[in-house]
Structure 1
Amino acid sequence: MVHSDDLINNKDIFDSLRQQPKLACPTIILFVLCIGFILGSTWAALNGHISYLTACFITGTTGYFLFSPMHDAIHSSVGQSKALNTSVGRISFFYYSTFVAFELMRFIHFRHHRNANGPGDEADHIIQSGPAWLRPIKWAFLDYIYGWKYLGYWKTRPKSEKQNIIIMLLLTIVMWTLLIINGYLIELLMLWIIPQRISFFLLSFVFVYLPHLPNEVSEQEDVYRSTSNRVGMEWLLSPLMGYQNYHLVHHLYPDVPFYRMVKIWNSRLDEHLSHDPAIVSTLGLYPQPAKKERNSNTREQSSKIGDTN
């Protein structure tokens, strides 16, 4: 265990944290626990041990925490094995949205990293903008927004990727149809579809909406102001928010496992702070005002620190 004082501005620790783990054990443990809770609550409800409403709440909130392993799988941060990352991603996303395949989610998410807060090419910008009353509805249907956005790239995407998406879509139609005609509509709604929407609502609010407020600076303008770190009470907010309270770190170093983000920020603290990053107070909504004007060098400077995908 590294003492917190030893962690601050420690290049050796920074370099070690930048190395891809052979196997990200905390990620795997969280993945297994989440899948176990989802399957367990479903089994308990189907066998009358808990109500469908209780199972719906358990599965929906567990699915929110499952996002961290799935998100790390998108960035190949679960381990050095491509097959492992793909498996974790596909299994996780099968819960989230069978209509929208993992490969589709990965492609659109990478577009987000290239142009965060930028309108037009940015799918996440859709759920961050528009009438305030409509945004929560968008949060709950993030996967459908991603799917709609993907259609604009359909002709240019690899054949194998499109085949996987079509297979998952057809599988979903067949599976849901069989469940409905055999009298399992309520089970389908309460144990899968509604929990999906709960999970997407929570993760969209915490991982997409909050970190990018006020949506005024794009990634291309200044990566350090396009998203933020929520500083304070890390002992509570980091586990509750899947470490996305330090979302800026993720945009600087997308391939770093989620559980390393606070440490990697502190291990190069002075360098990070020199770029006037967007910092939000513990319970605040908006970051502190910029201390300096943005310029054409900010993107180049930040790219030297971390990957931007």
Structure 2
Amino acid sequence: MQDITTHRVGDATVTKIFEIGLDAVDGEFLFPGIDPDSIARERGGFGPGSVDPRTGSLRLSIHSWLVRTPGRVILIDTATGNDKERPGAAVLHHLNEPFLDRLRAAGVGPGDVDLVLMTHLHADHVGWNTHLVDGHWVPAFPNARYVFSGRERAYLAALSAGDGSDAAIRDAARLGPMLHPPLAGVYEDSVLPIVEAGLVREIVIDGSEVVDGFRFVRSPGHSIDHACISLTSRGERALFWGDVMHHPLQVARPDWNSVYCEFPEAARRSRRWAMDHAAETGSLVFTTHFAESSAGRISRDGDRFAWHFV
């Protein structure tokens, strides 16, 4: 188990709840089509917490962020979950991780969570929405309201139905060409059960305040309606940026999409926006897949950006 580290943003405290580390990710797999020499040059600027110095493999993390405000207990994204059927992504298949025990170690039980805010509905961001009880997927946080994009939910439902209605949703999104659909099975085991339990609040991503200083800000491309989630408290700012990036070397190369980005053109635009926003606002950035502390700040020098772990 990783050490529990808490960051403060105004009246809020933010704690990483670790699920799994990915310590041997091939850069050529993560960034398909990118010249290996270019990957080698960029990874040379990072220490052993982000790049294995012996093999050159990239280190990533999968985790959630626990945010406590004076009136709320909030989870942002819920990692992968245990027992999920993910044969198309072996590293996520049938996990057995003590995620809920780690949450309890941070002082929060599943019943204490008021809100679950989701940047998007990919497998490694919604998995702990549910857990397996007597052969059935049931909400893991039974007292929480789960908040996410209605377009994301509709898209997964359309793909699950297999009736071709997903094409109309893509056309309406106007994100450019689609490279691939999201991983199958996620809607059925991690989204539909919380919908059927009446725990969902679907929203339109328009930048308006959702609750207590939290706003969902459009950053589509990695998924059809991906959102970054901003927090403002007592004049301090944070940005939970989901999957606009997977590894800090993309800060230097925002033109590099990950293998998981569904709409490549839009993903590049959103990545640039996220860095511009973080630099201009001085936001403390909480990532979902950077290793080490997984939190940091963006600085800017002309057209170049740099990442600084905190």
Structure with the higher strand share, 1 or 2: 2
With the length of structure 2 as denominator, give the TM-score of the two structures.
0.31
Structure with the higher helix share, 1 or 2: 1
Structure of greater Rg: 1
With the length of structure 1 as denominator, give the TM-score of the two structures.
0.31
